[in-house]
Amino acid sequence: MRIIKVNAIPSTNDFAKQYYNDNSSFESVCIAARFQTKGKGQRGAVWNVTPGKNLTFSLLYPKVKVTVNHHFLLNAVVSLAVIKVLDRFNVPKLSVKWPNDIMSVNFKMCGILIENILKQTDIAASVIGIGLNVNQDDFGNLKQASSMKLQTGNEFDLDEVLNNILKELVGRLELLSEEKETLILEEYASLMFKKDVVSTFQWPNGEYFSGIIRGVTTSGLLNVEVEDSVYKTFDLKEVKLMY
């Protein structure tokens, strides 16, 4: 795999998409930045990190073996790959906060943003953006943020962590198929943050309600028990899970 390292860049995801437009045939390529000036997250959030302390990178992966209707499998597989690697580095109590924020205990340490390049119903390529807090030890007013260093007390080699994630991720993507959907989603559900406990959710209008996460649908909708044996499903724009 080709790895392109840059000092500063607006967005590794945007760079990866431009790379795809300029190259009609390519193998997987990773763009890793020491610092992103306009890093993107879910819901339009900005991913802010201290330069040189963390990992901000995007993997451009061609010819994903799932169709658009099963795109959530990508989210699940990427989340599971990151958790697997962090577990190897002894990061405690890992989980995935739907749809794909990686948590340690009650703290967020990794955000994932996947943007698919489509050709009809096929995914021609996926841009998998990952921002992982590694050695940063001060997040100011971001009380819910943490890092591998804060959670373990150890300093990490950024290249070692990056290479481990890329190896695990590509290995899982190569084996990805829609036939394995049930197994993948069951593994994902087993690691969901606040699964099977009463949690607080927020509507777009700011109001709150309580419910219990029971898993996800095949399309990635959040499955919530809102009353005894009464279930509702929500997409990312409909509801926000509170910490």
Give the model confidence (pLDDT) of 98-112 as tens digits.
999 999 999 999 999
| Residue-wise pLDDT tens digits, 158-201 | 999 999 999 999 999 999 999 999 999 999 999 999 999 999 99
Please tell me whether the peptide bond between 99 and the residue prior to it is cis, using omega within 30 degrees of 0. Answer: yes
pLDDT at 23: 76
pLDDT at 44 over 70: no
**Is residue 185 classed as helix, strand or coil in its secondary structure?**
helix
pLDDT at 24 over 70: no
Supply the pTM of this predicted model.
0.93
Tokens of 134: 């590694």
Name the band, by pLDDT with cuts 50, 70 and 90, for residue 43: very low
pLDDT at 66 over 70: yes
More confident residue, 183 or 40: 183
pLDDT at 50: 78
Write the class of the CATH domain 198-241.
Answer: mainly beta
CA atoms of 23 and 65, how far apart (whole Å): 20
Given a contact cutoff of 8 angstroms between Cβ atoms, the answer to whether 166 and 1 are in contact is: yes
CATH of 2-190, one of 3.90.1300.10, 3.30.930.10, 3.30.1490.20, 1.10.357.10: 3.30.930.10
CA atoms of 96 and 81, how far apart (whole Å): 11
State the DSSP H helix or E strand holding residue 110, giving kind and residue range, or none if neither. strand 107-119
Report the range of poorest mean pLDDT among 79-83, 119-123, 220-224. 119-123
Tokens of 137: 């030890």
- Measured CA to CA in angstroms, residue 206 lies from 94, 161, 184, 200 at distances of 28, 38, 33, 12
Given a contact cutoff of 8 angstroms between Cβ atoms, the answer to whether 188 and 96 are in contact is: yes
Given a contact cutoff of 8 angstroms between Cβ atoms, the answer to whether 31 and 10 are in contact is: no
* Residue 166 Cα to chain centre, angstroms: 13
CATH 2.30.30 residue ranges for the chain: 198-241
Name the band, by pLDDT with cuts 50, 70 and 90, for residue 152: very high
The 8-class DSSP code of residue 42 comes to: G
pLDDT at 86: 98
Tokens of 154: 């150890």
Q: What are residue 157's phi and psi, to 5 degrees?
A: -80, 120
| Residue-wise pLDDT tens digits, 198-220 | 999 999 999 999 999 999 999 99
pLDDT at 121: 82
CATH 3.30.930.10 residue ranges for the chain: 2-190
pLDDT at 90: 98
pLDDT at 36: 82
pLDDT at 27: 84
| Sheet order of strands, 107-119 included | 2-9, 29-36, 55-62, 122-132, 107-119, 101-104, 94-97
Q: What is the residue-averaged pLDDT of the chain?
A: 92
